[in-house]
């Protein structure tokens, strides 16, 4: 089993905002090299990636940003779709002067990344899909269990969903913030969008080279979804973390960062 024992979260780089479409988007832009956009999960924000970002190393420009109803992004208080979130990411690329970028999405962020690859294939150099799913229906019972909790209840329960027993012990010793607070209205809009996600029959349309990274004991995004994505996405590779749960991007950040570097910086990679 791949192991990782240091989940200490380093100081987060300075955040900025940029006008992207009709949004004022909060983002963190750090490093030089190939552009990699980090797309956060459903209950997180741009700061989710502090642990992973610190391990990516030279040659990668890592940009994380706040989706609608997240962090410091300012958006209209109206419902939206996964297609809108995909278009928002492309508007951010435009605002940053990026014709294309590699996308790394975790959990719900992986769903957003899949929709970007389907709606805007020319803007996606490659995909890294971490602990995500091609369909909300896969794992919906566990997801609903978590979503229907209050923020405080979710904070208390998240350890068992996200980390192995060894990872939970490390989390207690060196806490890493995994969830962000939202208003009830923001939470409803986010949860409604999550339930829209269904691309199992469209995976064959994803043209971007794709690295899938998944824990075999993930309740929120069952491992069967990762296997399905590898089988149906034409140019996909699955790397498994035996026993890993939903928070592998934190608990196994060293391993995942190494795999991401290999994937992005191989000479033949776009």
Bigger pLDDT: 12 vs 222: 222
Asked if residue 105 belongs to a domain, the reply is: yes
CB 70 within 8 A of CB 45: yes
Q: How many folded domains does the chain comprise? A: 1
Asked if residue 257 belongs to a domain, the reply is: yes
CB 206 within 8 A of CB 118: yes
Sign of CA pseudo-dihedral 110, 113, 115, 117: negative
Asked if residue 54 belongs to a domain, the reply is: yes
Dist CA 205 CA 256 (whole Å): 26
Quickly list H helices, 58-125: 82-95, 108-119
Asked if residue 21 belongs to a domain, the reply is: yes
Q: Can you give the residue range of the structural domain that contains 124?
A: 16-265
- pLDDT tens for residues 126-181? 999 999 999 999 987 877 777 777 777 777 777 788 899 898 888 765 656 667 88
Q: β-pairing, 23-30 with 16-20?
A: antiparallel
Question: Can you give the length of the chain in residues?
Answer: 270
DSSP state, residue 85: H
Helices (H) and strands (E) in the chain, counts: 10, 8
Asked if residue 6 belongs to a domain, the reply is: no
Asked if residue 8 belongs to a domain, the reply is: no
Asked if residue 184 belongs to a domain, the reply is: yes
Asked if residue 167 belongs to a domain, the reply is: yes
Query: What would the mean pLDDT of 184-192 be, rounded to a whole number?
Result: 93
Q: The whole model's pTM is what?
A: 0.91
**pLDDT(3) > 50:** no
Provide the CATH number for the domain around residue 88: 3.40.50.1820
- pLDDT tens for residues 205-259? 999 999 999 999 999 999 999 999 999 999 999 999 999 999 999 999 999 999 9
CB 74 within 8 A of CB 211: no
Neighbour tally for 96: CB within 10 Å = 18
Angle, in degrees to the nearest 10, between helices 140-147 and 151-162: 140
Dist CA 51 CA 53 (whole Å): 6
Dist CA 152 CA 156 (whole Å): 7
């Amino acid at each position: 089993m791949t192991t990782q024992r240091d989940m200490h979260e380093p100081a987060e780089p300075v955040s900025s905002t940029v006008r992207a479409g009709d949004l004022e988007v909060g983002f963190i832009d750090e490093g030089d090299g190939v552009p990699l956009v980090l797309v956060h999960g459903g209950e997180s924000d741009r700061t989710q990636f502090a642990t992973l970002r610190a391990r990516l190393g030279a040659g990668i420009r890592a940009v994380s940003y706040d989706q609608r109803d997240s962090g410091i992004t300012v958006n209209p208080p109206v419902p939206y779709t996964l297609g809108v979130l995909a278009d928002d990411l492309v508007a951010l690329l435009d605002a940053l002067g990026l014709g294309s970028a590699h996308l790394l999405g975790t959990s719900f962020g992986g769903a957003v990344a899949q929709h970007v690859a389907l709606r805007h294939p020319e803007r996606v150099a490659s995909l890294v899909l971490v602990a995500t799913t091609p369909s909300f229906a896969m794992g919906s019972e566990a997801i609903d269990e978590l979503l229907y909790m209050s923020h405080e209840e979710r904070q208390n329960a998240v350890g068992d969903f996200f980390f192995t027993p060894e990872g939970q012990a490390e989390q207690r010793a060196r806490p890493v913030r995994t969830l962000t607070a939202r208003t009830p209205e923001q939470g409803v809009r986010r949860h409604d969008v999550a339930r829209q996600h269904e691309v199992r029959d469209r995976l064959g349309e994803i043209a971007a080279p794709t690295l899938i990274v998944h824990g075999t004991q993930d309740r929120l995004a069952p491992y069967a979804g990762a296997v399905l994505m590898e089988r149906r996405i034409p140019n996909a590779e699955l790397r498994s973390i035996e026993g890993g749960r939903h928070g592998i991007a934190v608990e196994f950040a060293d391993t995942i960062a190494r795999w991401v570097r290999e994937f992005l910086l191989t000479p033949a990679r776009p």
